[in-house]
Amino acid sequence: MSSLRHRVLAVSRPLSLTIAASLLLINLGVILFGVFMRYFAGGAPIWTDELARFLIIGTVMLAAGAVWVEGGHMRVALIERLLPPALTRLLNVYQWLLTLGIALGGAWVSYRYAHSVSMFTTSGLGVSRTVPLMSLPIGFALLAWHVLWYGPAPLRVATEDAAS
């Protein structure tokens, strides 16, 4: 099971990060287009600001699960180092269940909300509000996917490079 877990994470983490990086590059292009239009053509289309906002939210949501698995998110790991091993293991299970529950709950609530506003359109893009809001349930579901496959193991701790 452990090798399957590592293989699933070895595929889904880079895939999530690649899609998130692609969205970030698209976002950079949209922002640069908006800046060019604003300063050189006299005015930017309204959709550039709105699209940039939706792209950055989508980028963060798609990368959240992979970043969580890598231990690249902000957290305080002091308690884990001070507890005896048995209590540390219990704390790891608690953190895993809590994160999984929040991710699944976030996916469910945001999915329902995204569909509840389907009759409304965005002001700049003119598409159903459901389209950009679907990045939230997709992101929460990916976070739950990564958390589920990572399991209740101790989270990685990001360390500073001694050379810097």
Share of residues in the chain with pLDDT > 70 (%): 93
Q: Would the pLDDT of 25 be above 60?
A: yes
Q: Would the pLDDT of 162 be above 50?
A: no
As a whole number, mean pLDDT of residues 31-56 equals 91
Q: Read out DSSP for 42-54?
A: S---THHHHHHHH
CB half-sphere exposure, 153, CA atoms < 13 A: 15
Domain ranges of the chain: 1-150
For 71-123, write each residue's pLDDT tens digit: 777 666 777 778 888 888 998 899 899 999 999 999 999 999 999 999 999 88
**Amino acid at residue number 53:** R
Tell me the C-alpha distance between 113 and 104, whole Å.
14
